């Protein structure tokens, strides 16, 4: 969901903070719709799903910005390319997540690196934003 949201936010040139907020608000709605009638597992799904969703959203946003600045691709092709890159990184994260969960790192082992990566990517995104033109 984060990869899709990043591609859509970039393609429509929407506010990145607003797009991240809408994406974060859509995650519980999608999880409730997925398990219709049962919200028993909602807290656990949010705890384990939010860092990976944020990771793919940030990777998609950064990669779209990078592709726009460093390639001659049209915006029509940048959005799917950023989506694919974010989805690939998300899948690699889930494979790493599985490894950390099955190893002896404890139940919070996979979440802490994801949160650290999210903070790092957020700082990178803030430091690489374009200056406001007057």
Q: How confident is the model at residue 106 (pLDDT cuts 50, 70, 90)?
A: low
Domain-located, residue 74:
yes
pLDDT score of 131: 54
Domain-located, residue 10:
yes
Q: Name the residue range of residue 105's domain.
A: 2-127
110: pLDDT strictly greater than 60: yes
Cα torsion angle, 127, 77, 7, 85, sign: negative
Domain-located, residue 46:
yes
Domains of the chain: total:
1
CA distances from 110 to 14, 48, 102, 125, 127 (A): 31, 9, 10, 23, 26
pLDDT score of 104: 63
pLDDT score of 44: 82
How confident is the model over 10-57, as pLDDT tens digits? Answer: 888 888 889 889 999 998 888 888 877 777 888 888 888 888 899 899
Average pLDDT of every residue of the chain: 84
Domain-located, residue 133:
no
For the entire predicted model, the pTM comes to 0.83
């Amino acid at each position: 969901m984060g990869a899709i949201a990043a591609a859509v936010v970039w393609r429509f040139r929407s506010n990145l903070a607003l797009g991240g907020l809408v994406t974060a608000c859509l995650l519980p709605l999608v999880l409730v719709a997925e398990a219709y009638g049962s919200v028993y597992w909602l807290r656990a799904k949010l705890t384990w799903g939010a860092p990976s969703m944020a990771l793919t959203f940030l990777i998609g946003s950064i990669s779209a910005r990078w592709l726009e600045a460093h390639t001659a691709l049209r915006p029509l092709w940048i959005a799917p390319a950023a989506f694919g890159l974010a989805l690939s990184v998300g899948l690699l994260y889930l494979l790493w997540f599985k490894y950390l969960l099955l190893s002896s790192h404890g139940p919070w082992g996979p979440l802490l690196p994801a949160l650290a990566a999210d903070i790092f990517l957020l700082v990178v995104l803030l430091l690489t934003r374009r200056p406001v033109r007057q």
